[in-house]
Structure 1
Amino acid sequence: MHGSSEVGHLVDRHPSVTPERLIAQLIPPPTFAEVSFDTYRPDPAEPSQAEAVRACREFCDQAQARRAGKKRLFGKRDVLPGVGVYLDGGFGVGKTHLLASSYYAVSGQKAFATFGELTQLAGVFGFTECIDLLADYVLVCIDEFELDDPGNTTLISRLLSAIVERGVSVAATSNTLPEQLGEGRFAAQDFLREIHTLASIFTTVRIEGPDYRHRGLPPAPEPLSDGEVADRAAAVPDATLDDFDALCTHLATMHPSRYLTLIEGVSQVYITGVHPIDDQNVALRLVSLTDRLYDAGIPVVASGAKLDTIFSEEMLNGGFRKKYLRATSRLLALTAAGQTGRAIT
């Protein structure tokens, strides 16, 4: 590539996502494409981890049996309601590893989605259509069930109740903050209260242990100048270069379910003019984009404000605290990859 004029821009992309494509995206992210129960390494000092593996294996067996139903006379089968398992614990104890392993251990139709993706699915298809869509599945896995959005939690609770009645089993993980772990079953109690219509089907599995990734967040790199970012972008095939405000405006023109298609085929993302955000809607769209970039392992290089200052203190102390902390952590990992030029592993 010669000169930044040839660099592509995310703001010039206008992806459309067919319903079929949305369904096809409901699989574990690339980071967890190769995992299984056998590749999970329980910490011998934390017996709850080995117990969690056993509980998940048992859950998978039950999910298959429930979907098969109960034989009646004349060869017909009665539908048995699905079962549920809820993996509760802090960051880095392997909850998503076990959730993805459960997904792979079960044969038949199944879906793996973040809580946000599931609410998007209901938004795109409509509530009733979404139930019909998932009704014949063996298993639906929900990573990071969020308790900080009452409207969406109620929506998903009703959706899950309906599909469980039709024989679908559900596995979910929590997104408990580390400082809440001292409060015992805080997240589990919150979860069961929020989904009271479903509480009876869920077995709560508590996973203890320190964060295996816990090396402290790397400090945010010193931002480059706009010119340096543009020059670097010009030297990288399939990179994109965008102004931060223009990108945020562009994200508002499409449903977050399209963000995965927006970054398809992109090798690295270069952004100029980053600054703190004070609009919650803009911030939440940026969180969604960050999650997609992280799942795809696409490094980020930026100029302007440091990436750990994007979300204000007020936002970090508000109802979406967990999302913003996760997004900050992921942005720092992506910019660290951008500095070395290596993809996320």
Structure 2
Amino acid sequence: MADPVSHPVTAAYDRIVAEGRIKDDAAQRTVLPALDRLVAAVARAPAAGKPGGLLGRIFGAAAKPPPGPVARGVYLWGGVGRGKSMLMDLVVEAAPIEKKRRVHFHEFMQEVQSGLNDARLRGDADAVRPVAETIAASTRLLCFDEMQITDIADAMIVGRLFQLLFEKGVTVVTTSNRVPEDLYKNGLNRQLFLPFIALIRERMQVIRLDSDRDHRQGRAAGGQVWFTPEDGDRRTTLDEIWAELTGAAPARPRALEIRGRSVTIPAAHDRVARADFYDLCGRPLGPADYLAIADAFDALIIDDIPWLGPANYDMAKRFVTLVDALYEAKVRLYASAAAEPDRLYPEGRGAFEFERTASRLNEMQAADWAAP
């Protein structure tokens, strides 16, 4: 077992492997030294305005960080399900400081935009600086999941925001499915975004997690994903699937900003979401909403899909649109329902059209359906 002082992230990784929570992965292990160096550097660095604390003295005197470069942050990228989020969670767990935060990138940027609006209302000439100062005052280690830039408003501010955060001593760890050069690819006025890519390369250690194993496919590979009353306690089964997909992480609501509106997903962790049928189809949501949901998550658990028919025709139509979005985005769907897809919409207006949706739902149950 690794020394938890000089190799804090590796020690945490060893522990969860020994507990059987994850399988040892050689590709993940290649990333651990860089994360160990980063956590050790964060622990030694004095908090703003202080010459150094007890934890810094312990780390500084008791152990030197593993050899190698120490960057102001780490940009960890790779395919879905490779364990990026899990490794970042270990960084948060291992960092022996209080001022640390883990947040989804989408949620983080919503908060930033809100802070910018407040600064502009106050008449601040430089709206980004007070936002960065507020973040830096409460956060020395900022970890956020799934960096992806799709909005021009975000693209135009992240460069200056990150520059200020780095200058104020904030250490950043982020995960992404994309190499930095592919961020905001083909976006409007992308040339204005290029300095941010250069900043990432300059101030963060860019690491590819090149695993050939999709850790989210453990249950999906050959496991049941669609559950009916004949399958017993379906909610408990879906609870177990949630635990497997998220590492038993707590479920928290997540708001998705879509064309100026906010759509809240009741339970989310990283790129896994869970909701009741009525949360998704009982509200007046449209194609843009379902496309945003499909883009935000790799796996979706839906509880209690009812019998469908003319009596709930509007909800059935929304469900059809949702399934189309999930299907096109290759989102793995887990669901409990009143019946198998072929019998879910037995008769009446819309039954014929639903046959295509039933076919897609059956196809989506295949073990290798969501495989890249």
Scaled by the length of structure 1, what TM-score is found?
0.54
Q: Which residue of 2 aligns with 1:48?
A: 27
Deviations along 1:26-45, whole A, 9 cap, x unmatched? xxxxxxxxx9433454866x
CA distance change for structure 1 residues 253 and 278 in 2, over 3 Å: closer, same or farther?
closer
CA distance change for structure 1 residues 203 and 113 in 2, over 3 Å: closer, same or farther?
same
Q: Are 1:108 and 2:98 an aligned pair?
A: yes
Amino acid at match of 1:172: T
The question of whether the paired residues in 2 share the 8 Å contact of 1:142 and 1:171 is answered with yes
Amino acid at match of 2:112: A
The question of whether the paired residues in 2 share the 8 Å contact of 1:154 and 1:195 is answered with no
Whole-angstrom CA distance in 1 between matches of 2:338 and 2:45: 46
The question of whether the paired residues in 1 share the 8 Å contact of 2:38 and 2:71 is answered with no
The question of whether the paired residues in 1 share the 8 Å contact of 2:305 and 2:336 is answered with no
How far off is 1:161 after superposition? 1.8
CA distance change for structure 1 residues 336 and 93 in 2, over 3 Å: closer, same or farther?
farther
Whole-angstrom CA distance in 2 between matches of 1:128 and 1:255: 26
Which of 297, 302, 305 pairs up with 1:302?
305
Matches within 5 A, 1:9-158: 36-39=12-15, 41=17, 47-68=26-47, 83-106=72-95, 107-126=97-116, 127-136=128-137, 137-158=139-160
Deviations along 1:107-163, whole A, 9 cap, x unmatched? 121111111111111122224443122113211111011144443244333322211
Whole-angstrom CA distance in 2 between matches of 1:285 and 1:190: 20
Secondary structure, aligned partner of 1:125: helix
Whole-angstrom CA distance in 1 between matches of 2:13 and 2:155: 29
Any gaps of 5 or more consecutive residues in structure 2? 1-10, 52-69, 117-127, 184-192, 236-257, 268-273, 307-315, 340-372
The question of whether the paired residues in 1 share the 8 Å contact of 2:145 and 2:176 is answered with yes
Range that drifts further, 125-134 or 100-109: 125-134
How far off is 1:313 after superposition? 6.8
How far off is 1:58 after superposition? 1.1
Whole-angstrom CA distance in 2 between matches of 1:95 and 1:307: 31
CA distance change for structure 1 residues 336 and 53 in 2, over 3 Å: closer, same or farther?
farther
Q: For CA contacts below 8 A with separation 6 or more, give which structure has more relative contact order.
A: 1
Count residues with an aligned counterpart: 239
Amino acid at match of 2:31: A
Any gaps of 5 or more consecutive residues in structure 1? 1-34, 73-80, 177-186, 225-231, 234-250, 262-266, 317-323, 340-345
Whole-angstrom CA distance in 2 between matches of 1:219 and 1:158: 47
Range that drifts further, 53-62 or 214-223: 214-223
Identity in percent: 20
How far off is 1:305 after superposition? 5.9
The question of whether the paired residues in 2 share the 8 Å contact of 1:153 and 1:195 is answered with no
Range that drifts further, 155-164 or 117-126: 155-164
Whole-angstrom CA distance in 1 between matches of 2:147 and 2:46: 23
Amino acid at match of 2:39: C
How far off is 1:189 after superposition? 3.3
Which of 182, 199, 202 pairs up with 1:190?
182
